[in-house]
Amino acid sequence: MVFWFNSDRERGRVFAEAFARDLPDLPFVMDISERDPDEIRYILTWTAPPDLHRFRNLKAVFSIGAGVDQFKPESLPPNVMLVRMVEDGIVRMMQEYVTLAVLALHRKLKAYIEQQAEAAWIPLPVRQAGEQRIGILGLGMLAQAAIERLIPFGFPLAAWSRSERQVDGVDCYHGPDGLTPFLARTDILICLLPLTQETQGLLDAGVFATLPPGAALVHVGRGAQLDHDALIAALDAGHLSGAVIDVTEPEPLPPEHGFWRHPKIILTPHIASVTQAETAAGAVIDNIKRLRDGFDPIGLVDRDRGY
C-alpha cells in the first residue's frame, strides 16, 4: 500500500525524509501517474482529487490544514476516514496570533500606529486586563490552546460552544440560548469556530449589535462566517472599536475592498496558523501507526458535524 502526498514539493521533501526514517515500509509518492490506483492507501491533500472514487483501497484522507470545510461530503466515499491536521506547529502559531491580536486591541495598537503616521503624541486611556472581558466562539483544540495563553494576563474569559462543555477558569456557555448572554458580556470576541451550515454568516449585524458598545473582534475562524458590510457598519457607527481579521471570503480580497484601508481594521493574509512540515509529518506518521494498530486517528472528522 502507498501514501500519496498531494501537495507542494517543498513540504513534500520534508515529509519524504520523515516517512523514510519512521515508516520505511510504506512507499511515499508525490507523483501517482504510473501507480495503480488500487495501491493508494492514504492521501494527504488540501482538497479531494476529482477522481477520488477510483482509489478502491483508500482508507484515510489527511487534510494538510486544520480546517476541512473545503472537502464536500459527496467528494469522499463513506468508508474513507477524513482526518484534519492536528500538529504542534499549528497550535503554537494560533496561540501566538490570538495573543498578539488580543493585546493589540486591548492596548489600542492600531490607534497608536495611526498617531505615529501623523506625528501625534497622545496617550490614550488604559483599561486594565481584569476589566477587559474576552469571549471565544468555539471550544475546540485551537480555542483551548488560545485560552491557555490568555489566562496569565488576567482577562475574564468566557467561551461559547454548540454543546455543553466545561473548562477550568472559563465561563462556559452553549447552544442557541447561551449565545446572547455570552455576547452581552464580551468586550473582545474571538471567532475560532469551524465552518458549518450553522456558522456560515454567523458574524452578522445581530451579533455585533449584541456585543457591548466599544467591543472588538478577532476573526481567525473561516472567511464565510463574517458579514463584511455588517462589520464595517458597526465600526463606522462606533459600536465596535476595532477588528483583527485573518480570514475573508474571498481570499485575497479585491484591492478596492473596504477592509484594506479601514482605520479600525488590522488585516492579515490568512497567516494566523500555517501547517509546519516537520511537525505535521510527525503527526501524520503517528496517525498511520494508530490506524495500523486499530485505533482512530487524532483529528478524525465527524461527517455529520463537519469537524
For the chain, the domains span 2-87+275-292, 89-267
Confidence band of 132 (pLDDT split at 50, 70, 90): very high
Percent of the chain with pLDDT over 70: 100
pLDDT digits (tens, 9 = 90+) for 4-39: 999 999 999 999 999 999 999 999 999 999 899 999
Q: Name which of 14, 61, 26, 22 is nearest 275 in CA terms.
A: 14
How far apart CA 259 and CA 282 sit, in angstroms, is 37
Give, in order, the Cα–Cα distances in Å from 148 to each of 65, 161, 171, 279, 285. Answer: 22, 17, 14, 20, 27
Whose grid coordinates read 494527504?
44
Neighbouring residues of 72: CB distance < 8 A, sequence distance ≥ 6? 48
Place of cell 462556559: 172
Note the pLDDT of residue 50: 85
What kind of architecture, by CATH, is found in domain 2-87+275-292?
Answer: 3-Layer(aba) Sandwich (3.40)
> What is the enclosing helix (H) or strand (E) of 148?
helix 141-150
* Amino acid 29: pLDDT: 97
User: Measured at the alpha carbon of residue 234, what is the angle toward residues 123 and 190, in degrees to the nearest 5?
Assistant: 75
pLDDT of 73 reads 73
| Same fold? 2-87+275-292, 89-267 | yes
Say what the pLDDT of residue 307 is: 85
Mean pLDDT across 153-175:
97
Q: Which CATH class for the 89-267 domain? A: alpha beta
Other CB atoms within 10 Å distance of the CB of residue 291: 18
Per the prediction, the chain carries an average pLDDT of 96
Whether residue 160 contacts residue 174, with contact meaning beta carbons closer than 8 Å, is answered with yes
SS3 content of the chain, % helix, strand, coil (to 5): 35, 20, 45
**How far lies 252's CA from each of 247, 256, 294, in Å?**
9, 11, 41
Active site residues: 222, 270
- Contact indicator for 62, 47 with CB cutoff of 8 Å: no
